[in-house]
Amino acid sequence: MRQSISCLSGSLAILLLGLIATRYVFAMPYLAPFYNAQVHLSALATGLAILSFVFYHKWYMAMVILGGIAMTAHLPVRSHALGDMATAQQAAGKPSLRVLSFNVLAENLENGPAIADEILGSNADVAIVLEARQLASQFARMASAYPYRLGCGLETTGCDLVVLSRHPFVEHTVGNLSDLRSERYMHAVIEKDGERINVAAAHLSKPYFDDYHTVELWRLWRRMARMEGPIVLAGDFNAASIAPDMMWFLRSAGLRKAPYEPATWPTPLGPLGIAIDHIYARAPMRLTALDRIADNHGSNHFGLIADLVIEPGSLPRQ
């Protein structure tokens, strides 16, 4: 029995680590769930390897344990360079912006009023709402706080993506990231406190739909490369920041994330889930805080709210 348990747990550990390790050779779209959950699955594999070693001492299982520990720690350490957060002292006296991003789930129709109340109470300058058709009946009462809108009939035919703003749009664009889904990209330039700020919103396809996710990131990068000045990018990326194509995208676009990103999906796992919704910034825009909205209001995602500042004199890091 001990040998059987050791063999089973050890085999599962080796299988998990082997699947994850493919990212270091050739990342495959169909294995994207394993890449996104690398920290979780590597930790699980390490635990299984330890169990195998305890029940039946084999020298090679000690190597699997070390490999599991290395793969658990590698990406958090590697992605540390992509994290940036301004301190309160650095943010003092600088132009600020508050952004809310929330995938509220298209089928979550009964919670439209509560979601609208959450947005109104957030004091966000800009709210980016995904799968937002349940808010269509709420826009009239939200108009006094958010008089400027893209989506749900304004410049679009659907409600997959909506941008609400307290500040006027100097210019705006609605577009597609691929032929899989339409109207999943928006870009607006708003003006606040005399500063023009690029606000971009995106809803990316799931990463295991062939190579659509990577192609959409490439197109998003091309569009952001043409933007000048501070940028905040928010939305549902359906991938963690540690995914191979996401790390490439962040580096190439000069974007920075919070050093710690709250988990947003799946909601039953709470803080043990994965951060697949993001709010990123490009200098001279910097994050000062990023928090998860406590109540998911019936969605399968938690929302995010971020505070950002514009730091004059800073340049995008490539």
Q: What pLDDT, on the 0 to 100 scale, is given for residue 2?
A: 72
Of 45, 80, 115, the residue that ends a domain is 80
Whether residue 312 has a cis bond before it, omega within 30° of 0: no
In a domain, 315, yes or no: no
- Interval 15-44 mean pLDDT: 93
Residues 42 and 67 in one domain: yes
Position 91 pLDDT exceeds 90:
no
Strand partners, 309: 96, 286
Contact, 247 vs 241, CB < 8 A? yes
Greatest Cα pair distance, the chain, in angstroms, is: 72
Q: What pLDDT, on the 0 to 100 scale, is given for residue 260?
A: 94
Which range (177-181, 237-241, 262-266, 304-308) has the least confidence? 177-181
* Closest CA relative to residue 32, chosen from 198, 207, 152, 227: 207
Residues 72 and 105 in one domain: no
CATH number of the domain that residue 213 is part of: 3.60.10.10
Question: Which residue in the block uniquely carries the two structure tokens 């990023």?
Answer: 290
Q: Helix 59-78 crosses helix 38-55 at what angle (to 10 degrees)?
A: 160
- Interval 90-110 mean pLDDT: 94
- The C-alpha atoms of residue 307 and residue 63 are separated, in whole angstroms, by 44
Residues 155 and 284 in one domain: yes
Beta-sheet strand order (sheet of 96-103) = 148-150, 161-165, 126-130, 96-103, 304-310, 285-292
- In this prediction the pTM is 0.93
Residues 61 and 165 in one domain: no
Quick: pLDDT tens for 137-180: 999 999 999 999 999 999 999 999 999 999 999 999 999 999 98
Residue percentage of the chain with pLDDT more than 70: 98
Quick: pLDDT tens for 190-211: 999 889 999 999 999 999 878 8
Residues 211 and 110 in one domain: yes
Q: Which range marks the domain in which residue 306 is found?
A: 87-310
Residues 156 and 275 in one domain: yes
Cβ-based neighbour number of residue 225 at 10 Å: 10
Of 57, 80, 103, the residue that ends a domain is 80
In a domain, 299, yes or no: yes
Number of domains in the chain: 2
**Rounded mean pLDDT of the chain?**
93
Position 314 pLDDT exceeds 60:
no
Cβ-based neighbour number of residue 158 at 10 Å: 17
Quick: pLDDT tens for 224-233: 999 999 999 9
Q: What pLDDT, on the 0 to 100 scale, is given for residue 317?
A: 44
Alpha helices in 92-243 (DSSP H): 112-122, 139-142, 212-225
Of 50, 80, 110, the residue that ends a domain is 80
